[in-house]
Amino acid sequence: MEGTRSTSCAERMRRHPPRLLPCGMMTHSVAEEKKPDPEKAAWRPAGSSPLMVEQLKTAAASVKSAVEMHYFGSGANPTASLDGLHLCQMVRDAGPSMTLKVFDAEGDKDECQRQGVLFFPATLLNGLNSGGLRLLGAFTGWELRILSEAILLAAGAGTGLSARTAQTICSLQRPLALKVFVSPESEFCVRPALLALRMAALSGHIGAEIVNSADFPVMSERYRVENTPRTVANDTVMFDGAPGEAHFMELVMGALVPQGGIYR
């Protein structure tokens, strides 16, 4: 990768504007400009209907509070990284309050470590959300509905969770890490993904990672993902399916209770 670490960010941006290298790897420490790229105007995520794409653009356009997307790509996974980058650029171009910064796995190792990014591609959403909102992989299909909701949550939209659920979440004092493995062709995956994101938006003790299982076969094997959706809480509680809010809460909160204990 070109560029030196001693060069200021502003000077580096002037010398090396955002671009894609031929191999599909991204330039490092790149703060994306707000100017739309006409070459990408007709780009659409594979397997996504025009309606899903328009709903995503509408969600981005409706955002009033600033939302910053941090996108991490890798030349080791160029196809998914480029698709994910194009998706983030499309969202940025659709929303006046959306900004995008792009980082590379090799060129920005310090930034990856600082933000705890271990898997690529990854999109982090930062706004008014209290906890971490992360999307791993190149989202398409029904996953666009998940991304739309994540953007709105980062902008401070209401979670729609019940008062009892919200009170329980806000009273948490221990960390709760949620992973939800999803697939683009399954509408069934939307509910648990949204529940995890809504919980994370409310509490700084909760982090939600929504994982496109097809892009991470090794991780999927580790968590024994045979069908989606699969939810993992603190690497100890795992369950499949799309339970309702109350049942979902009971299951994931069980990860905070010693074995044999009772959650109330």
The per-residue pLDDT of the chain, averaged, comes to: 86
* Mean pLDDT, rounded, for 186-205: 97
Please report, for the domain that includes residue 76, its CATH number: 3.40.30.80
The answer to the question of residue 10 being in a domain is: no
Whole-structure pTM value: 0.83
In a domain, 119, yes or no: yes
Helix, strand, coil percentages (3-state) for the chain, rounded to 5, are: 40, 20, 40
In a domain, 50, yes or no: yes
Asked whether the bond before 121 is cis by omega within 30 degrees of 0, the reply is: yes
Residue 5 lies in a domain: no
Average pLDDT over residues 220-248: 97
Alpha carbon separation from 127 to 63, 72, 85, 150, 190 (Å, rounded):
11, 17, 19, 10, 22
Neighbours of 79 (CB within 10 A): 11
pLDDT at 6: 36
Residue 133: phi, psi to the nearest 5?
A: -115, 110
Question: Do the domain assignments include residue 72?
Answer: yes
Confidence band, pLDDT 50/70/90 cuts, at residue 10: very low
Strand spans (E) along 27-73: 30-31, 67-73
Task: Using the predicted structure, report yes or no on whether residue 135 has a pLDDT greater than 70.
Answer: yes
| Number of structural domains in the chain | 1
**Residue bearing tokens 């001693």:** 6
Is 231 part of a structural domain of the chain? Answer: yes
Strand, coil or helix: what is 223?
coil
What is the span of the domain harbouring residue 98?
26-256
